[in-house]
Structure 1
Amino acid sequence: MPTILKKIPFAFLLFAMSCCASVKQQDDRQLHTTLLNDIKTLSSDNYEGRKTGTAGAEKARAYITERFTKLGIKPFPDQSNYLQPFMFQAKDSKQFTGQNVLGYIPGKLKECIVISAHYDHLGTEGNKIYNGADDNASGVAALLHFAEYFSKNPPNFTLIFAAFDAEEMGLKGAKAFVDAPPVALHQIKLNINMDMIAHNDKNELYACGTFTHPELKKYIITDHESIKITLGHDDPKTGHDDWTNQSDQGAFNAKNIPFIYFGVEDHKDYHQPTDDFENINQDFFVGATKAILAVIKNIDGKLSSKIQIDKNKIMK
């Protein structure tokens, strides 16, 4: 009898570990399916390349807002919906109306992190559709996954999820956001931007932004073995192109807001009609999304505690 009793806890431990492994596998399968469905849908011919001001862009907005609604992501209290319209003039002097899609999850702190990705792309040219699977249906799909994760796991920071319009026309949506933010600009402590995270043959994901803000380096840690996060593309000593202002994080940088931009180097399908779902690296994309989420969780856990400490000092 005593021998049997000793074996029971060990058997229970094995059972519990088996259950945990099964749940993790199920979560991984669901993540894989949802991510790939989002990127495949947004980069399908039905969305006509999602160019600003077109029916395809309107369909993309409808898709994002529907996902936000189902996930329970809130529009800002003073907004009747998720949309932030803005006007701008293109290089040819033509007037455009863009529409950012904004939602948020309130955190324990009023300080915010803006998680962003642009949903627009190049549209059509003749009979060719520029579907922009990597650029940037990939970033939007990841953003939707992060929104789902934090809707189930309440964050410390207040998280703003921003699907920006008109990035391809000069970062117009991001610039409109920082010029008329839904919260006080000083409350935004960081921008995490994603633009092209689904197409790399060497499993290399770049993180730009730590040259100007080296204090962010310690948070860029992930245990995802297949993804190599490489710093650079903002440090002149590396010889890489400077990406600081080449995507929507540039609008935040102009306001001196720290940022981390995740992306890959240009590839043969960049800004080509061949940037289709069939040509992305699916395993890399899923791995990159997991790696970025790990970084966001690091920041939300560790950086938020420092801000709380600073608040306590001020109160004293």
Structure 2
Amino acid sequence: MKKHARMKKLLSVIGCMMALSASAQPASAQIDSAQLMKDVQTLSADKMEGRKTGTKGNRMAQFYLLDRLKETGLEQFYNTYQQSFFFNSRGSRIMGTNLYGYIKGEVDSFIVISAHYDHVGTKAQPSGGDSIYNGADDNASGVAGLLAIAKYFKAHPPRYSLIFAAFDAEEMGLQGAKDFSARLPVPAASMLMNINMDMISHNDKRELYVCGTYHYPQLKPYITAAAAKSAILLPMGHDKPEDAGQDWTGQSDHHVFHLRKIPFLYFGVEDHPDYHKVTDEFSRINPSFFYQAVLSILDVVKAVNERP
């Protein structure tokens, strides 16, 4: 009996040690790099036809993302992940669809983590060559990062509740984010901030810019802490009005949150030769940089969750 009791005690101690070891694992252990790359490759495949809002290819991307949201285990608002909306563009009425879900935290305050999944579709080329604007970096990369971060927090319940939103029609004037803002699933007063990702996988200098700290300097410590242990550079900038032509405050979906005085951080690379070109394909992203970019963004979200 004593031997059996000692064995039970030993197994209990080993179990506790394994639990502590698992909780101490670095964030990298919680990011599935293979799934990260698969999500980008799938969303930027030719069959998605550039994911332009209102097209068959965009709808195919929606189906893929709906399956991924279910796999990740996000909770639904109103028993659905979908929020459809309509807008006018060049005389046509177009339907877009936002996709989002949430992970409930200990506190009923919300951080919105966002990325747009649409792109610009297809355009005939004078040469008659490739006509599909695949949008691997812009912005299959941001959506893949969103899914990876959602998976992490599903396994590690956050302090604050997290909304993960894949917006449609960003390329057509931030239409999806505007509709989300007009029909928020939670009170605006409960929203702490927005973390937006748009083009995070392609930079030869290993620089991922962080825009927003000029407007919200209280967010700087989170970036500084993440940068100290990041394998890539996290320069802050591109958010000052005097930065002629280089102020990104209004360049992506985070702008809609800024207009509501909701603090934001926008992660993105500077324009590269493949930006809005048919060459923005999966083969052109920088896998190592992309992986490290997602880890760094995850570290920022974790840091926000660790402070009151």
Q: Which TM-score band (shorter chain)?
A: 0.7 to 0.9
Q: Please give the alpha-carbon distance, in whole angstroms, between the structure 2 residues aligned to 1:26 and 1:83.
A: 30
Alignment of 1:42-191 (within 5 A): 42-76=43-77, 79-90=78-89, 92-126=90-124, 128-191=131-194
| Counterpart check, 1:300 vs 2:301 | no
1:309 alignment partner in structure 2 = none
Aligned to 1:256, what secondary structure does the other structure show? coil
1:211 matched to 2:210: no
What is the deviation of 1:240? 6.8
Deviation at 1:238, TM superposition (A): 5.9
CA RMSD after TM alignment: 2.0
Q: Alignment identity in percent?
A: 49
CA 1:176 to 1:26, structure 2 compared with 1: closer, same or farther past 3 Å? closer
| Separation in structure 1 between the aligned mates of residue 267 and residue 67 of structure 2, nearest angstrom | 25
Q: CA deviation at 1:239?
A: 6.1
Counterpart residue identity of residue 291, structure 2: V
- 3-state DSSP of counterpart to 2:132: strand
Aligned 8 A contact 1:224 1:290 in 2? no
Instruction: Output the amino acid matched with 1:268.
Output: P
Q: How far 1:137 sits from its partner (Å)?
A: 0.2
**Counterpart Cα distance in 1 of 2:245 and 2:203:** 17
Q: 1:143 to 1:96 in 2, by over 3 A?
A: same
Q: Counterparts of 1:256 and 1:27 in 2: how far apart (Å)?
A: 35
Structure 2: gaps spanning 5 or more residues = 1-13, 125-129
How far residue 283 of structure 1 moved from its aligned partner, in angstroms, is: 0.5
Q: In the TM superposition, what whole-angstrom CA distance separates every residue of 1:6-34 from its partner, at most 9, and x where no partner exists?
A: xxxxxx9xx98xx87xx769937x62211
How far apart in 2 are the matches of 1:260 and 1:26? 22
Task: Give the Å deviation of 1:269.
Answer: 0.1
Task: Tell me the matched-pair count.
Answer: 282
Please give the TM-score of this superposition, normalised by the length of structure 1.
Answer: 0.85
Q: How far apart are the structure 1 equivalents of 2:193 and 2:72?
A: 23
CA change 1:246–1:37 in 2 (3 A) is same
Who is 1:8 aligned against?
none
Structure 2-normalised TM-score? 0.87
Task: Label 1:170 to 1:239 Cα distance change in 2 as closer, same or farther (>3 A).
Answer: closer
Task: Go from structure 1 to structure 2 and tell me whether the alpha carbon gap of 1:25 and 1:152 turns closer, same or farther (over 3 Å shift).
Answer: closer
Tell me the residue number matched to 1:272. Answer: 277
Query: In the alignment, is the contact (CA less than 8 A) between 2:230 and 2:296 conserved in 1?
Result: no
Q: For each residue in 1:258-289, what CA deviation from the matched residue of structure 2 results, as whole angstroms up to 9, or x when unmatched?
A: 10000000000000000000001111000000
CA drift at 1:246:
0.4
Post-superposition CA distance 1:101-142 (Å, at most 9, x none): 010001111110000000000111125100000000000000
